[in-house]
Structure 1
């Protein structure tokens, strides 16, 4: 099982990669690539939130 810090780092990386992918899709006119970038950003946001929740729970214990 990954730690909160690992999830937060992975989430941040996914968000960044998604932004790049979305921008590339806009530049090339590829709606598919742009959509994939948006999905990857959303995945990153969820991962980051999961990491924050894990860290919050760990602090309470």
Structure 2
């Protein structure tokens, strides 16, 4: 009976450690995805602004002709 109790305690300890690792990895993945989404939004904003600047420059040269 003692061996079964020790085995159950060991299994619970292993399960707790595995749960902790999975939670840590999940949090890390979520943070990475959030960071990537934020960076992608910034890149899209920069591209949008750059295209507006290029359009303005082209239209200013076109209107002079």
Q: TM-score, normalised by structure 1?
A: 0.52
Q: Give the Cα separation in 1 of the matches to 2:29 and 2:39.
A: 15
The number of aligned residues is 34
Tell whether 2:31 aligns with 1:49.
yes
| Structure 2 spans left out of the alignment, 5+ residues | 1-7, 44-65
RMSD: 1.2
Q: How much has 1:42 moved relative to structure 2?
A: 0.2
Q: How much has 1:34 moved relative to structure 2?
A: 0.7
Aligned residue for 2:13? 31
- Runs (4+) of structure 1 exceeding 6 A deviation are none
Q: How much has 1:31 moved relative to structure 2?
A: 0.3
Structure number with the higher helix fraction is 2
State the SS of the aligned residue for 2:40: helix
